[in-house]
Amino acid sequence: MIAINIIHNELSDYSREPLAGNRVIYVSRHSRFGTDAVLLADFASPRRSDIAADLCTGGGIIPLLWLCGDAPHAKVFGLEIQGECCALARMSIAENGDSDRFEVLQGDLREVEKHLPRERFSLVTCNPPYFAAGSGFANKSKQRTIARSEVLCDSVDVCRAARYLLKYGGRFCLCQRPERLADVICAMRDQGIEPKKIRLVQQRPGSEPWLALVEGRRGGRSGVKFLPVLMVENGSGEYSEEMRNIYGRYGDKSKWQDN
């Protein structure tokens, strides 16, 4: 409890949000999460034998969602450059009793070799910055700018880090805006990670996709499969059955905010 209180004192603005059951996640004004993180967690779905690493883990939302159920993997490591996000994740880990299953490391993914072992992981995930540097994206919060804009890392950096961490045949799953798909695919292939599955996400029937979920394999053969579009809402403006199923596994969706 003393350690948790010390972390609390280092944060000026945070809140405690529910996940499934009695599990929680700590968020702040600068460090929140949205539907994209929930969808990526579901898309990546660790397998029983997976050892996983989550890059740009933020407050640890993706690993924390995985751990809402009976975690099928041995352990998850999260790598995050921002100290406030790491502090929030560690508070969540402590309160949920996840210290034997989830560890957060503060560091730059461009120096991943300083923080995590090479070719140990069978699954790597990343919810990366969406906006190219100089694209016009601006936010008054420095923390939000780092999370949303490629000021500290880009697609090439992310894929290079994933290549370093992945075993041969391991999976790399990330989400990105559909207009950045070419960047993602080129960066993956340059690092020997072959795109294998792509799933687009639409808000409602007739709307343009707002998110792309991509899975690649290190050393995989050429050939990509497009999965059915994931529809967030049905024609009546309510959550689709698939979205209700996804959210239902993780808790109170009314507390979550889109990025």
Average pLDDT over residues 210-238: 96
- pLDDT single digits (tens) 106-130: 999 999 999 999 999 999 999 998 7
| pLDDT at position 76 | 95
**Cβ atoms within 10 A of the Cβ of 83, count?**
12
Considering only CA atoms, which of 6, 1, 18, 16 is closest in space to residue 252? 18
pLDDT at 58 over 60: yes
Give the pairing type, strands 102-106 and 52-55: unpaired
| pLDDT at position 32 | 85
Q: What does residue 250 show for φ and ψ, rounded to 5 degrees?
A: -120, -5
Average pLDDT over residues 78-107: 96
pLDDT at 223 over 70: yes
Residue pair 193/221 in contact by the 8 Å Cβ criterion: no
Among 10-14, 32-36, 171-175, where is mean pLDDT lowest? 10-14
| pLDDT at position 22 | 86
| pLDDT at position 63 | 95
pTM beyond 0.85: the answer is: yes
| pLDDT at position 73 | 60
Share of the chain above pLDDT 70, in %: 81
pLDDT at 2 over 50: no
| pLDDT at position 207 | 96
Distance (Å) of CA 54 to CA 35, 57, 140, 208, 228: 17, 6, 26, 28, 25
| pLDDT at position 211 | 97
| DSSP labels, 142-182 | HHHHHHHBTTS--HHHHHHHHHHHEEEEEEEEEEE-GGGHH
pLDDT at 138 over 60: no
Share of the chain above pLDDT 90, in %: 71
Q: Which residue has the tokens 């600068």?
A: 30
Domains of the chain: 2-255 (3.40.50.150)
* Mean pLDDT computed over every residue of the chain: 87
Quickly state the pLDDT bin for 253 (edges 50, 70, 90).
Answer: low
In angstroms, the CA 97 to CA 92 distance is: 8
pLDDT at 259 over 80: no
In angstroms, the CA 248 to CA 41 distance is: 13
Quickly state the pLDDT bin for 250 (edges 50, 70, 90).
Answer: confident
- pLDDT single digits (tens) 164-199: 999 999 999 999 999 999 999 999 999 999 999 999
Residue pair 49/120 in contact by the 8 Å Cβ criterion: no
pLDDT at 215 over 50: yes
pLDDT at 41 over 50: yes
- Provide the β-strand partners of residue 54: 78, 125
145 CB burial (10 A radius; 0-12, 13-18, 19+): middle
